[in-house]
Structure 1
Amino acid sequence: MSTTNTPAGATATGPTAARRGSIRATAPLLGWRTVDLLTIAFLGAAFGIAYWGWGLAYEAPAKLLGGAFPPLQGITGAPWLMAGVVGGLVVRRPGAALLCEVVAALVSMLPGTQWGFATLISGILQGLGAEIAFALLGYAAFGLGAALLAGALSAPLEAVYEWFVYWTDWGWGYKIAYGLILTAAGAVIAGGLGWLITRGLASAGALNAFPPGQEAREHRAV
């Protein structure tokens, strides 16, 4: 069974390079397959391990940036937004971005973190933001622009949460600046790198059961 839908306007003959837009997941969009669930679990676990490692390494750059201007620490928060972006770009079904980010948060908690249960709360908020981005696009666009939007929207809910949990001594000027910086960094780091990771996995043949894999095959066929 094909794992992707043929876009409207595509023909059985002619170069596939003429395709415009993204390939959507098979209908119905809510019809999750076993391979979808397993892939989200795998991606979430991989990002969770990476998140845990970044939790050990981020303090030095965060202190350096914070010494120059405290809200710049938002830049170091952007890598934690990436799982939802990649999960959404790969599986392309409602809930994929949220679920991937939540799995990543849970896995990163297992070895122990200084944030404890707050890690899961952050994962839910970040994943929900990415999910909103893909929903706004009707789960039909998954190019670089969609990835940048998902990375950007992963940040605002998290920023507001941090205002009242971690940055309670900041004035509103710093808080708003932090939110804007985290949003911009989320777009570039989580969105941009998430898109590159997805393309890299697809080009390597790791996503043949998913729309990015078909897009990569069609690109190579040009």
Structure 2
Amino acid sequence: MTKQWKLKEIVLLSILGVVFAVIYLLAFGIGQGLVGALTPFGIGPLGYEFIYGIWFIVSIIAAYIIRKPGAAFISELIAGVVQVLIGSPAGPQLIISAAVQGLGAESAFAVTKWQDYRKRVLILAAVLTAIISFAWHFYSSGFFAYEAWLVGVMLITRIISSILIMALLGKWISDQLAKTGVLRGYALGKEHQQNRDQDAA
């Protein structure tokens, strides 16, 4: 697999980053609603964790479709920058968080030298992203001020959310797009075509 980027891959990466920047902002509102609902029970911080995987999903979709070094990191970074530009309440610090999340996802693919995009690697990317991003937020967002049990539950919830939303949902969305034929010029689309040809043989 060539590691040289094609123009159409760069364009798709940019489109994904922008589209998911908007989705991420919408998810922020949902997260706030969950925090508000859980705060009376003393577990408000868990609100965001239930859906945290959504803020990682573009990295999996981009990497799984394009399969080039940097796809996970750059797509997440683009989404972070666009969110700031269109007025995210999180402010410029969001760009650092996006970079951390992108690095978390990218690290899983780096382990396989960007050659393996099976489900287990996508799940590994989800777990690493959840853990690395949580470590960053532990200090940047002041998680250390919470009780130990709550921090533990938050981490476990983020990992589960990341696996379900980032890895499994991200893979499903990508596979559904590939089945339509719109990705036939990309690595995932070619893989699907090869599988169809083998089934037909």
Deviations 1:21-43 (A, max 9, x none): xxxxx32x2x1221221111111
What does residue 58 of structure 1 align with? 31
> Identity percentage over the alignment?
24
| Residue pair 2:126, 2:163 contacting (<8 A) in 1 also | yes
| Residue pair 2:64, 2:117 contacting (<8 A) in 1 also | yes
Matching of residue 72 in structure 1 with residue 46 in structure 2: yes
Matching of residue 205 in structure 1 with residue 181 in structure 2: yes
Q: How many residue pairs were aligned?
A: 195
What does residue 162 of structure 2 align with? 186
Matching of residue 216 in structure 1 with residue 192 in structure 2: yes
Matching of residue 155 in structure 1 with residue 130 in structure 2: yes
Counterpart selection for 1:89 from 49, 64, 78 = 64
What does residue 108 of structure 2 align with? 133
Distance 2:21 2:162 in 1: 17
| Residue pair 1:82, 1:194 contacting (<8 A) in 2 also | yes
Distance 1:32 1:111 in 2: 28
Deviations 1:92-150 (A, max 9, x none): 11111000000111112222122101211110010000000111122111122222221
The 1:186–1:213 alpha-carbon spacing in structure 2 relative to 1, beyond 3 Å, is same
What does residue 14 of structure 1 align with? none
Q: Which amino acid aligns with 2:129?
A: S
What does residue 87 of structure 2 align with? 112
Superposed CA RMSD in Å reads 1.8
The structure whose residues are more often helix, as a share, is 2
Distance 1:63 1:220 in 2: 48
Distance 2:104 2:155 in 1: 13
Distance 1:183 1:71 in 2: 15
Counterpart selection for 2:15 from 18, 42, 49 = 42
Gaps of 5+ in 2: none
Distance 2:139 2:104 in 1: 18
What does residue 77 of structure 2 align with? 102
| Residue pair 2:38, 2:46 contacting (<8 A) in 1 also | yes
The 1:156–1:204 alpha-carbon spacing in structure 2 relative to 1, beyond 3 Å, is same
Distance 1:106 1:88 in 2: 18
Gaps of 5+ in 1: 1-25
Calculate the TM-score normalised by the size of structure 1: 0.80
Q: Which moved more, 1:175-184 or 1:103-112?
A: 175-184
Matching of residue 142 in structure 1 with residue 89 in structure 2: no
| Residue pair 2:181, 2:189 contacting (<8 A) in 1 also | yes
**1:62 Cα deviation (Å)?**
3.4
Q: Which amino acid aligns with 2:163?
A: A
